[in-house]
Chains A and B, each alone.
Chain A
Amino acid sequence: MQKQAIFQSKLLPYALVAPQLAIVLIFFYWPALQAVIQSFLLQDAFGLSSTFVWFENYIELFKDAAYFEAIVRTFFFSFAIAVSSLSFALLLAVMADKPLRGSMLYRTLLIWPYAVAPPVVGVLWIFMLHPSLGVLSRYLRNMGIDWNPLLNGDQAAALIILAAAWKQISYNFLFFLAGLQAIPKSVFEAAAIDGARPMRRFWTVTFPLLSPTIFFLLVVNIVYAFFDTFGIIDTMTRGGPGTSTVTLVYKVYSDGLLGGNLGSSAAQSVILMVMVIVLTGIQFRFVERKVTY
């Protein structure tokens, strides 16, 4: 049977989707178009006039070593955030999947961090790891670690990765738990009877059967690490020390709003837009397909 509504008037269906279309056009396509136009313009130092410069903003960008550093840094951050939050979430999910008393309670508690806004996450971690205020910093220093993320770029990067990964654990946990519960218990039981010890069972049965979930989450986490870590970076390090925690998204903000180079900022956001499109494409291409194992 075909699911098709029948409209008397030809105009009515268009009228019905018009509000939604208007929202999408005004709030998504219009700014995106603005960014594309802006990326072809070069503004003078006082913002009084702008000249059409074709691809000069892009060419400048790709000549800029700092931009390449930001690209490499962003990929490294994404990879580190995705891997650490995925593996930790998987560990928690495997443990929470066991039928233990109070499982509903701790499953619920594990999901809570997802409700915390990224800037708040940043502030929370600062309270713990700020070199002079942080409660954990003292212990780190007592252990002989020269902990100062305000001066040490690697430590700042580690801090960002830690906070961003922590924030994403709940989300991943939820999907992993659902994924685990979708696997029939009898498959694990069969593996237990087949003589596979817990670790081997995990790597030969659980992990392969979760691979569709893992792939889906990998894409989601990379997108998250690319775009949604802005709040965390802004509250924790503001891109510093130096440029050691400037990611592509943060660079759009700092070059455009702080540096006043709107043309370059727009060109960067167009590049980011292309990346989102590619990532979403990958997600639809592979994840929407049923059964990947």
Chain B
Amino acid sequence: MANVTLRNVRKTYTGGFEAIKGVNVDVADGQFCVLVGPSGCGKSTLLRMVAGLETVTGGEIDIGGRVVNQVEPADRDIAMVFQNYALYPHMSVFNNMAYGLRNRGMKEAEVKTRVDEAARVLELTPMLERKPRQLSGGQRQRVAMGRAIVRQPKVFLFDEPLSNLDAKLRIAMRVEIRKLQRRLNTTSIYVTHDQLEAMTLADILVVMNGGQVEQVGNPLAIYEKPATTFVASFIGAPPMNLMSTRIDEIKSQLGAGEAGILGIRPEDFVITEQTPAGGVALPLTVEAIERVGAETFVYGSRAQDEQRVAATPGELPPGEVIVRIPGSEAPPIGQKIRVAAVRNKLHLFSGDGRTRIEA
């Protein structure tokens, strides 16, 4: 039981590369914190710094009220689940789980009780004598989980634990991890690049980009009010449509002519001939259709002569807009349609995409 606090944590490698540029996060006791971001954003480095596997070059990492910057990984009372599971290939499942307990000099009877209990919870009892190579991916994953829970640590650290599993198993394990964490009520930090995993697991979501925290908060709050265009395009699939616009067209009280970025989520569009009051409407030509059953994604392009706003470079191909409509009914390719979004579904950002402008 412990809270984890990161105070202005920095990581600069010899050679000057700054991997973590001052991160502040506060994870309360028992909370499930997810670090999410694209590859290379520093999320794994940050987790490894909490684990003690990477040195901290600035700031403080505090676990349960104790600054652990100089504390060995073994003495931080944490357990980590690695992406490749990092099971000891020469040890049986039982010994893999017992290793950390025996290293701490626990009595063999107590070791057995704890491992058996973890094996029961994770349904590993029939495979305790097997070696990791005789297990499937999902079973190995559970052994890695077992190795973490037998220790009853203050904090669980997960480094993309599900990324080596197939899609179906990943969803099942995601639910398992969440249930297990709720029951044990152990503070957890979980790293993933999968925004869906991040949304479903997190009590507190930390969106990272380029070694910095873009936004921290409740996942739904982040989804509804992304603080930057990066968060807007990273959280939610398909990503939010981002278009450069002149803010005075949307929000008259700002200075006339100021450039900004308008964001609209694909599901917030409706195909209609009307323009809602204060909302926006776009004429589109249907370019492609993706039917996934319960919903359909329409990829449209804005015709050049009708283009009021241009897409932000790097966010969406110029002129492309994704619209999500329920069901599988969709307009045919090539047809001209008109989509609209209501006022309170519009997201406005400053021209550099770094600040959200509240309507």
**Contact surface of A with B, Cβ cutoff 8 Å:** 184, 186-187, 189-197, 200, 204-205, 208-209, 211, 291, 293
Given A291-B133, A293-B90, check contact A190 B103 (CB 8 Å): no
Residue of B nearest to A193 (CB): B73
Is A192 in contact with B53, judged by CB distance below 8 angstroms? Answer: yes
Is B89 in contact with A190, judged by CB distance below 8 angstroms? Answer: no
Partner of B99, one of A184, A194, A211: A194
Contact with A along B63-99 (1 / 0, CB 8 A): 0000000001110001110111011111000000001
C-alpha gap A184/B140 in the complex (Å): 16
Contacts of B151 in A (CB 8 A): 194
C-alpha gap A189/B84 in the complex (Å): 12
Is A204 in contact with B99, judged by CB distance below 8 angstroms? Answer: yes
Contacts of B103 in A (CB 8 A): 194-196, 200
**Contact surface of B with A, Cβ cutoff 8 Å:** 51-53, 72-74, 78-80, 82-84, 86-90, 99-100, 103-104, 133, 147, 151
Partner of A195, one of B74, B83, B88, B90: B74
For the complex formed, measure the closest distance between the CB of B122 and the CB atoms of chain A, giving whole angstroms.
17
Counted as pairs of residues, one from A and one from B, with CB atoms less than 8 Å apart, the total is 62
Contacts of B89 in A (CB 8 A): 187, 209, 293
Partner of A208, one of B74, B90, B100: B90
Partner of B53, one of A189, A195, A208, A209: A189
Could you give 5 example pairs across A and B, Cβ below 8 Å?
A189-B53, A193-B78, A194-B99, A197-B74, A200-B103
Is B88 in contact with A205, judged by CB distance below 8 angstroms? Answer: yes
Given A193-B73, A195-B103, check contact A184 B86 (CB 8 Å): yes
C-alpha gap A205/B100 in the complex (Å): 12
Most chain B beta-carbon contacts within 10 A, residue among A187, A190, A197: A190
Q: A184-B84, A190-B86, A193-B53 are in contact. List 20 more A-B contacts (CB 8 A).
A: A186-B82, A186-B84, A189-B73, A192-B52, A192-B72, A193-B51, A193-B73, A193-B80, A194-B99, A194-B100, A194-B103, A195-B100, A195-B103, A196-B74, A196-B103, A197-B74, A205-B88, A208-B90, A209-B89, A291-B133
C-alpha gap A97/B158 in the complex (Å): 26
